[in-house]
Amino acid sequence: SYVLTQPPSVSVAPGKTAGITCEGNNIGTQSVHWYQQKPGQAPVLVVYDDSDRPSGIPERFSGSNSGITATLTISRVEAGDEADYFCQVWDESSDHVVFGGGTRLTVL
């Protein structure tokens, strides 16, 4: 089955840029979606189709995808961005949904 690998944690100072990676075999050929989850809350879609943002999501959130790595980039990080972030793809071969293990973003 298809596997998505994320670093368990990323730390960043306020105002700096955070990059959260998601690795998978030929992930660059797939559409990657990213979700933010704060403690006790349901996940929220922050980036879809590699780099598109839903309405209401700040422009500080952006995404890219190439080769074996997709990246969620958060610019000008704020304390309120502290959360768990999950990448997700649809695996065409199995017609199943796959999530990455999640990355905890800590704002120093």
Q: Which residues bind other proteins (CB under 8 A)?
A: 1, 31, 33, 35, 37, 42-45, 48-49, 54, 86, 88, 90, 92, 94-102
CA distances from 24 to 19, 45, 49, 76, 79 (A): 16, 20, 15, 27, 29
**Cβ closest to other proteins, residue 6 vs residue 16:** 6
Give min distance, CB of 71 to other proteins, in A: 17
The token pair that represents 92 in the structure block: 């065409």
Smallest gap from Cβ 90 to other proteins, in A, equals 4
Q: How far is the CB of 51 from other proteins (least distance, A)?
A: 12
Q: Could you tell me the sign of the dihedral formed by the alpha carbons of 54, 55, 56, 59, in that order?
A: positive
Min separation Cβ 1 and other proteins, Å: 8
Entry field: residues in the chain: 108
Give one DSSP letter per residue of 18-37, joined into a string. Answer: EEEEEE-TTGGGS--EEEEE
In the complex with other proteins, the residue whose CB is nearer, 16 or 38, is: 38
- CB nearer other proteins, residue 68 or residue 98: 98
